[in-house]
Amino acid sequence: QIEPHDYISKLFNLFVQFNIVLTDFDKDMWTYISAGYFKQIAKAGEVGSSTMPHKINPINFENSEGNLSVSNGLLCTLSMKLPISRLQRDLTDSTVLRNLGVGLGHSLLAYKATMQGIKKLEVNKVRLDEDLEQTWEVLAEPIQTVMRRYGIPEPYEKLKEMTRGQAVTKDSIRKFIEGLDLPEDAQSSLLKLTPHSYTGEAENLAANIWNVVDLKSGFKIK
């Protein structure tokens, strides 16, 4: 004697899944800001901290994260409750349905907060360059790839011995490369690499994302 609510449950489960992804994004952005990888553009009249007036807190991402938590709590409850009804005739759905707007409303507030936070971001190139300059160990990936190409035995183990728990510097990386039995052109290419210039396949993968991702099903099967 009641309308079946299965479609609402399915819809809200999709909202919950999206909100979980966005919560992860908010947390990542909060972390990047804390690490100094992003700066936030100051907004006139905005208070960042009650005791530290110089601070610009990632308040938009925090606001979004909080609203997503409230929204998912409500939407999960609704999606689990609404398909259940004693003999398809009790009226427990009546009071529950009054909270549809509340759950979706908190999601909307979260989406707006995240978008506002993104608009205030500015890449801190100086901080990124400083961090890259201290992480020459990222070149372990291209070095072992080239070592494998030319049949040098145990490339992973050799790099592990050189890098694991060690302070890896430009000089130590160069010394390691120069000690490898590689063709001159391959060795020269490796010596030109820096943490700033090496991106591996990242650029190519990003440029061809639509060849492997389908917004409806997730991933295309080739």
* 179-195: b (≥16 Cβ within 10 Å) or e: ebebeeeebeebeebeb
CATH number at residue 143: 1.10.40.30
Residue with the larger pLDDT of the pair 166 and 111? 111
Are residues 98 and 45 located together in one domain of the fold? yes
pLDDT per position as a tens digit, 125-156: 999 999 999 999 999 999 999 999 999 999 99
Structural domain contains residue 219 = no
Are residues 113 and 14 located together in one domain of the fold? yes
Share of the chain above pLDDT 90, in %: 59
Are residues 16 and 107 located together in one domain of the fold? yes
pLDDT per position as a tens digit, 15-41: 999 999 999 999 999 999 999 999 998
pLDDT of residue 81: 84
Which residues share a beta bridge with 38?
123
Structural domain contains residue 158 = yes
pLDDT per position as a tens digit, 54-101: 567 889 999 999 999 999 999 999 888 877 777 777 776 777 788 889
Cα 192 from Cα 197, distance rounded (Å): 9
Distances (CA, A) of 19 to 13, 91, 219: 10, 29, 20
Boundary (domain end) residue, out of 77, 96, 124 = 124
Are residues 27 and 83 located together in one domain of the fold? yes
Can you give the residue range of the structural domain that contains 91? 6-124
Are residues 148 and 102 located together in one domain of the fold? no
Are residues 84 and 155 located together in one domain of the fold? no
Are residues 87 and 12 located together in one domain of the fold? yes
**Residue 222 confidence (pLDDT) above 60:** no
Most distant CA atoms of the chain, gap in Å: 81
CATH number at residue 50: 1.20.200.10
Are residues 107 and 17 located together in one domain of the fold? yes
Structural domain contains residue 130 = no
Domains: count for the chain: 2
